[in-house]
Every structure is written in C-alpha cells, then in structure tokens.
Structure 1
Amino acid sequence: MRGPDPRVVLGLHRSRHERRLLTGALDLGVTALDTSTNYFGFRSHRILAGIADDLLPKFTVSTKVGYFPGHGGAEHSLDPLRLTSAVEDVAKDLGREPDLVFLHNPEQSLRETGPHHKEALAAACTALEDATEKGLCAAWGVASWDPSPLLSLVDVTVPRPSVLMVRAGLLVGAKTLDASDTLVDAWDLNRGEVWGMSAFGGSTSAPVWDKVDPRLFLQDVGWFSPVQAAFRTAYHLPRVASIAVGTDEPAHLRELLGALAGQVEERTVQEYRRLLRVRTRDHPV
C-alpha cells in the first residue's frame, strides 16, 4: 500500500525567528510550522505573534509543552496542572489556538517518577487530551527524542496521541529506530500520524556528510545532491509522513523540497537497518 506523500514541516528549533523565513516558506508551499514553548529562550510564541501575526493563520501550527523555565536553565515536568497551564499560555502568546500540541520528551521526567512511570505518563497524556476536548488545541501528540523508556508504559490506560514525532534519518541508531516502530504499533498509529525530526543529526555541515553518499538509497540518483538524498531517505528511517526541518534559509528549504521527488530503494533501507542491528549486537553501548 502506498503511503501518504512526504511533507515538510518548517521547524523553528535554533531558528532566528525571522519573518523572511516564514514568507519564504509560504512562497514555497510549506504551510506547516513547528515550534515549542522553550524555543528561542521561551519566547518563540510571543516573537512569532509579534513579527508574523498576519502570517500565522496561513500555517498549521504545532508546538510542544513539557519544558519550563527553571533555576539555571530549563526543567522538565509531567505535572498535569503545569501542562494544562502551558497549553493555555500557548494560545494567549500566539494569539490563536495551536493546531497540534506535543508532549515534549516525556522520557526526561520519567527518570524521576520512581515506580509510578505509567501513571505519570497517563496523567500527562490525559491532560493534553482534556485540553484538546476543551478547545485549547485542535489535537495533541507526543514528541520523543528517545522513545525506548516509553515502550513498557504504553497500554490501554495511556491515551492515544494523534501524532508521534521521533528522530529520523541515517544517523539514528538501531535501538531508537526499533523503539519508534514498536511505539507506533503500540499506539496503533498509521504512517500519516508519524513525524520525523533531526534528519541530519543536527547539521548538514557535520563531517559525516563528507564521508558518505546517501544517494545509494535512491532508485534513480538523477540530479539529487547527497543532502537531498539523505533527507529523502529519512522518511524511511523510520517510516514517517512528515519531517520537521530547521533552517533559517529559504534556499535550503527549497533544496529539501526538491528531494521529495526522489524514490527510495526500500530493499537498501532494510539492508541498512539489518546492518545497524548487527553492529549494535556486536558493539553494544
């Protein structure tokens, strides 16, 4: 069965939050915007409302809650009351209700909840589910950098999110890829309900991209650049329908959009995942 067409989401992690980026994205047909309460020094929503209040209605906007200003930096919490309050603040600061609110890296707090991991996760998810029912957001999801700690916790007592966001791409390890797939199955999500992030492991200028040629994952290399090939392949590691990509340059966004025309060789992806598992087995961390 053919999956949904791949989609690009403009992510604002580490972004300078410039208006020209938003207008450039719209000009390219990118109409999904992803941010978080803690981006840009916990000011992302207010900055967006200040520089682009007229543009925001043209985007579907997703954001994240879970990190809060703390002494010496950010602190993470799964407290339902704090999460609900954070969702309420999103609408106030943005000047509109978000289309999607993610529970941001719940595994961060689960390390501190002792034997009550499942109850803490269920309560946090229920808080976002309730916020959705109250109209504070249109839908809710879970964004997880490391989904492994969640696997033993998800059952019928934990509400099902509308979207799961996980790391994607050639630099994601076998353990994380397999954990993502397991979590997708546990929540019975279809591919259209799974997003990827950090497709380049942080930067397209990292030394690793000078040492590998991701075009071997494409059926027809054609005119695709290695960066484009790596991005297109990320939709299959794991299988996701959308990828949030951070950039401050519309030209980079245009390049990545051009990659969507490529077709990935699924057999090569599966062999790559097999080799990753072998390496993990032979060289456990």
Structure 2
Amino acid sequence: MSAQLAAGTYRCRDVSKSVAAAVGAGVTWIDTAPNYDSGAAEAALRQVLDTCPQVRVSTKVGFVPDSDRRVARDEGILRYGHAQGHCLTRPYISWQLTRSSVRLGRIPDLVFVHNPEHGRTNRTDLSRTLTETFEELEGAADAGRIGGYGVATWAGLSSGMFTVPGLTELAETVGGPHHHFRAVQFPVSLLHLAVVADALDGHGALAEAQEAGLEVFASAPLGGGELLGAMTEELVRVIDSEASPAQAALLVALSAPGVSRVLLSASTPAHWADARGALARGSLPPDRLRKVVDVLGT
C-alpha cells in the first residue's frame, strides 16, 4: 500500500490531544488551517511540532478566522464593509503566511489554497484569482517562506470549476518548469466514489494528479463520521470481511489509485490503532474496488 495516513485537524475537538495520538501511532504529516478549531488549531500544534522535527505540516490560505478579521482590517489587509469570510488577495495571503509560520513555529511544508471556488460561479474570475494566488505563493516559495503549495477543494474539481491539468498548466505559466505546485486535496471516500471509479478507468482527477506527479491528500475518508453508522455487515464483507467498519471505509480511500495520504481526524490512540490496522491489511485490488463501485454506484 503506497498511501499513508495523515492527521487532519478539521473536526478535532482537542487538536493537541488528537495530534499527539496520531504522532504516537507513527503519523508523520499533519494538515491544518488557520480557521480550524475557531482559529486555534495552528497554535495548538506548535508543541508537537517543536518536539517532533520529523513531522511535516501543511496549512491553508483562504478562509479568514473570526479571530483574525479585526486585526487584518485594522492593519489595512482587509477592507471594511466587505464580507471577508474568504479572501485570496495577495496582501492577505502574505499576511496570513506570516501568522501561520509564527503560530506553527516553523515554515509550513505545504500551503493549500483553501476552496478557491468558494463564493464564485464565474470561471474567468476564478482563473484570475488563482493566477494571482499562484504568483504570490510562487514568490513565497522562492523566498523560503513555504516549502510548496497546492489546492484543497471540496467541489471545485467535481463541479468542473477547474481541473488538475489546468492547475498544473497555470503553475507552469506562473512559475516555469521548476514551479512549486506540489499537491491537491479533495474528498475520496465511499460517499465520493465517482473519483475512484474514474481512476480505475485511468481518467479523472486522481489519474491526472498521478500523471502530473502531484501528491493527493484524500480528505473526509469517513465522511465526517457519517460513514461509520452506514457500514452494514454486508458492505464490510464486500470490502474486506475481516476488517472493522472503520477499517473497511478507510481501505477504500487508502486503496484508490493515485492517493498519497489519507487525512484522518481520529481523536484517541485506540482510533489510530484501528486505522493503522487498515494500513496493515494492504491495498484492495482493483477488482474489489470495482465491486464496491458496482454495489454502491457513484
């Protein structure tokens, strides 16, 4: 199995405790964002990151934490009178990168553009925004302020607002052949099987990312916990009769072609031990994944 588990922090009730459990289980990548845990997630990671230099970290730019909005307005980074729940202007990105590095206590290995499709229906406007965003992030990478960057999306790829080849082409246009565009992040799970079905047929976002040499961070592999209550005995048997329900759900994301890391927001050592058990079971063969797609549809 080439995919690995990574610690997500989106739904963590206690980020420090959850991430400590993840690192204790051998996880070496943590994904966060400035707006997670009401704006406290990045700072909550610092102690773990300070004591575990081998652990890598990714954060995001885009959503403006409530706790930062007033400061950003007072400093002239955000304009008063505008809804600024999400912002991808170059001044805001630069400002947020500095704050994230201070909170994390280190330079982030990756910075994801967080749901760039948010609030946008015009592809031309989105393309212009992404161009300016990539320009700012390329400059930050050249200056050593970040290790690289990517795009984290919930629906931008599935809705056709942008494509993996389009993002790669943009990065090459902005940053040249040695650009710093490294990864994409999007949902891969039993609730998002279309992307898996496409990958099994050699096309779609997963196949395109693999062809471009991008890392893929699979988000929401358990559907935000929703899948755990939907894992019937029959479904578990279709996937892996010897797996636990959580392991069976995770195996689908871990086995999807092209996935590099699966983001899991598990909170206890027991949960991480169960997740590690999914890794130990090895990848599901393509014919098993196809059967899952046939049973559940896309």
TM over 0.5: yes
Q: Which residue of 1 aligns with 2:80?
A: none
* Structure 1, gaps ≥5 residues long: 281-285
Are residue 260 (structure 1) and residue 279 (structure 2) matched?
Answer: yes
Pairs within 5 Å for 1:220-231:
221=241, 223-231=242-250
Are residue 63 (structure 1) and residue 59 (structure 2) matched?
Answer: yes
Q: Distance in 1 between matches of 2:27 and 2:165?
A: 35
Alpha carbons of structure 1 residues 67 and 177: separation in structure 2 relative to 1, 3 Å: farther
Shift, 1:14, TM fit: 1.9
Q: Distance in 1 between matches of 2:111 and 2:216?
A: 14
Q: Distance in 2 between matches of 1:55 and 1:174?
A: 40
Asked if the contact 1:37–1:44 (Cα under 8 Å) also holds between the matched residues in 2, the reply is: yes
Shift, 1:217, TM fit: 2.7
Q: Which residue of 2 aligns with 1:243?
A: 262
Q: Distance in 2 between matches of 1:5 and 1:156?
A: 23
SS at match of 1:67: coil
Shift, 1:163, TM fit: 0.9
* Structure 2, gaps ≥5 residues long: 70-82, 173-180
Alpha carbons of structure 1 residues 254 and 224: separation in structure 2 relative to 1, 3 Å: same
Q: Distance in 1 between matches of 2:230 and 2:148?
A: 37
Are residue 159 (structure 1) and residue 171 (structure 2) matched?
Answer: yes
Pairs within 5 Å for 1:1-285:
5-49=2-46, 51-52=47-48, 54-69=50-65, 75-111=85-121, 115-146=124-155, 147-148=157-158, 149-151=161-163, 154=166, 158-159=170-171, 161-174=181-194, 178=198, 182-184=204-206, 188-190=211-213, 193-203=215-225, 206-210=228-232, 212-218=234-240, 221=241, 223-237=242-256, 239-262=258-281, 263-273=283-293
TM-score (norm 1): 0.81
C-alpha RMSD of the superposition: 3.1
Instruction: Give the structure with the higher percent helix.
Output: 2
Shift, 1:65, TM fit: 1.2
- Deviations, residues 97-153 of structure 1 (Å, cap 9, x unaligned): 111111111111433x57332222222122222211111111211111111311398
Asked if the contact 1:33–1:59 (Cα under 8 Å) also holds between the matched residues in 2, the reply is: yes
- Deviations, residues 140-169 of structure 1 (Å, cap 9, x unaligned): 111111113113981665116201111011
Shift, 1:211, TM fit: 6.5
Alpha carbons of structure 1 residues 227 and 74: separation in structure 2 relative to 1, 3 Å: farther
